[in-house]
Amino acid sequence: MALRVYNTLGREKQLFEPIEPGKVRMYVCGPTVYDSCHIGHARSVVVFDVIVRYLRAKGFEVTYVRNFTDVDDKIIDRANQLGIDCQALAEKYIKEFYEDMDALNAERADIEPKPTEHINQIIKFIERLIEARYAYQINGDVYYSVESFKGYGKLSGRKLEDMEAGARVDIDKRKHNPFDFVLWKSSKPGEPTWESPWGQGRPGWHIECSAMSSEYLGETFDIHGGGKDLCFPHHENEIAQSEGIFGKPFVKYWIHNGFVNINQEKMSKSLGNFLMIKDVIKEYHPEVVRLFLLSNHYRSPIDFTDLAMDEARTGLDKIYALLERLEQRIGLKSPAEIETGNCWNHFCEAMDDDFNSARGIGILFDTVRNANRELDKYKESLPLDSEKKLHDDHADILRIGRILGILTESPKTYFDKKRTDALKQQSLDPVAIDKMVQERTEARKSKEWEKADKIRKMLQEMNIIIEDRPDGTIWKVG
């Protein structure tokens, strides 16, 4: 099955055919670094991380660019509030971004440009827009004239005349049109500034992505991504800037991810439901967070609730538990030694349908369920055909894990960490639990069933799960 992607520009799924066969050039809008990253940032990063992983697994050579906005009104305001330099603030939150995303096992982009390092490219870009009469300057400020670009609104589906009819009176009377947007801002006291043909100032927000994407990916490239909130005006303005200069399509495929809601409410600081990644991963294993973020189709909104996170945590436990069972029953083989099986093929069919990770995860859990049934069916030795299928399943599950960015630990490491964390939270003593389990084992050997059941119930009340196996009894924290 050929890969098809939903293109926001065409408002339909389209066959994915990169401009240069075998190579994909992709740009994703990164964060404005003035505060800690929230769960909405995590969704965008994880979604495009998985897209890049999958494209590479299909054999594409991917050049992945994701920027940091390190000069902006929000950064300046926050730095002034804290009484620190804007660059120091930006560097602090870039470092924190890496800490959060590394914890979530998100691979870093190949190129991560910042506007403060590309001022010359931005100025040249603006000069070309002025020369081509797409932009105009007034007293040190430079604006893009939206009326000069005939295709304005084609990405978002908005018509300029409709927007103008409903627009409020704009504050800046100097602009030719209320929707004209700033390319270069003249300097104000206390702000970072650079020399330009229009005087001291700094770049606007939208221009940085047009200038930096063309610097690293060319005048036209394959994929531009970001959150749905960037569709208008940011991405609309990027199209106007880039196509105004180059006179050709800016991007072939536009991909936008949906929002993260919190308990069915839009996440916002005013509601006090802003969830920072660093706080979420204190409570949930990072792979649980990834599994949750990928459990809905990337274009759909996803609702962060305790129930949804518990389901993701239980689901991850089930996958690791199967891997543990398989290791004990059939041993370990590297996926590289085993050809892909039905599980992987069905997963790829799901991902080829607009990167449908939700359906892909469903296929993963179906495989886990069927493999457990096969192991339950044969308590002793496994028939050769069953063993071969289970080896195939094991290899495919690990392959899928690499695309989803999960299953990076051994089952033993995963459950040991889980047990240690749970014991700390519940103030339980593992030595005492080991002693209780041993007492139960001895009671069972001497056929003191009532005593054995009593100990099991006591352990259950402590949220300790007992598993009696041929080689002995083990316990886990539920």
SS3 for 384-400 is HHHHHHHHHHHHHHHHH
Both tokens of residue 207?
């221009």
Residue pointed to by tokens 């408002």: 11
Question: H or E segment at 136?
Answer: strand 135-138
DSSP string, 30-49: --B-SS--BHHHHHHHHHHH
- pTM for the full predicted model: 0.91
Q: Going residue by residue through the chain, which has 478 residues, state the pLDDT in tens, using 9 for 90 and above.
A: 799 999 999 999 999 999 999 999 999 999 999 999 999 999 999 999 999 999 999 999 999 999 999 999 999 999 999 999 999 999 999 999 999 999 999 999 999 999 999 999 999 999 999 999 999 999 999 999 999 999 999 999 998 888 875 555 456 778 999 999 999 999 999 899 999 999 999 999 999 999 999 999 999 999 999 999 999 999 999 999 999 999 999 999 999 999 999 988 888 777 777 899 999 999 999 999 999 999 999 999 999 999 999 999 999 999 999 999 999 999 888 888 888 899 999 999 999 999 999 999 999 999 999 999 999 998 888 999 999 999 999 999 999 999 999 999 999 999 988 888 777 777 778 888 888 999 999 999 999 998 999 999 888 888 888 888 766 788 877 6
Cβ-contact 116, 71 below 8 angstroms: yes
Cβ-contact 51, 355 below 8 angstroms: yes
- 349: Cβ contacts below 8 Å, ≥ 6 apart: 1
Distance CA 456, CA 465 (A): 8
- How many whole angstroms from its chain centre is CA 465? 33
Phi, psi of 174 (to 5 degrees): -75, -20
In terms of Cβ atoms closer than 10 Å to its own Cβ (0-12, 13-18, 19+), residue 429 is exposed
